[in-house]
Amino acid sequence: MGSKGIMGPVAPSKLDSLMATRSKSSHRWLQEHFSDPFVKKAKAEGLRSRAAYKLEELVERDRLLKPGMVVVDLGAAPGGWSQWVRQALGDSGRVIALDILDMPTLAGVEFLHGDFREDAVLSELEATLNGTQVDLVLSDMAPNMSGVDAVDMARTMHLAELAMDFADRHLRVEGTFLIKLFQGVGFDDYVRELRKRYAKVSIRKPAASRKRSPEVYALAQGKRAAT
């Protein structure tokens, strides 16, 4: 019987390569995250998320908050935006937050735990409002990313459409809608739809938004009356 050749080292599988790439990417992200000045500032000031500084810049530039306002925060977890709004409003107004992820309690913030894409969750949010019109709708929602651009963009735009529909129904005339968007397929059409509904639409990139991120924020002010 002839002897079998000795098997050499097995080449790494595609999965191994992918995991190694992700591990390096995660390590770089962690290094960047903990050296980020906005992360350090949020920790020092007791804020739940560096994202609060994105909202702070966007709101203060246009003086979007006034005492007594009703604010709905879609995609609120871990609570950075809701926390900042609650502090800015003081004891006045209402802040209603919603997310598919759980969120630790924030004093003065009404939190609904559920998936915004589900009718039952939307109904619960509408019941919480109990006919009250909203002054400001915030949406920092984003889907879990798969890494496949076409899939991720479709999911992102679906959430954005749902948020715009919510604002159509519950935002008062002259109210404001602020939403995170990602530039790509469907972005231009979405902005065109906003311009039909609002007197002024601006695209902003706050300083706390990482430069390499494709995220931008659409600020739609002066909701038009339905025709």
Residues marked as binding for S-adenosyl-L-methionine? 79, 81, 99, 115, 140
- Give how far Cα 189 sits from Cα of 82, 99, 160, Å: 29, 26, 12
> Is there a catalytic annotation at residue 196?
no
- Measured between alpha carbons, how far is 210 from 72 in angstroms, rounded to an integer? 25
Give strand pairing partners of 182. 215
- Of 40, 41, 54, 180, the active-site residue reads 180
* Residue 216, number of CB atoms within 10 A of its CB: 17
Look-up of token digits 């003065």: 108
Burial 164-202 (b: 16+ CB within 10 A, else e): bebbeebbeeebbbbbbbbeeebbeebeeebeebbeebe
| Residues labelled as active-site residues | 180
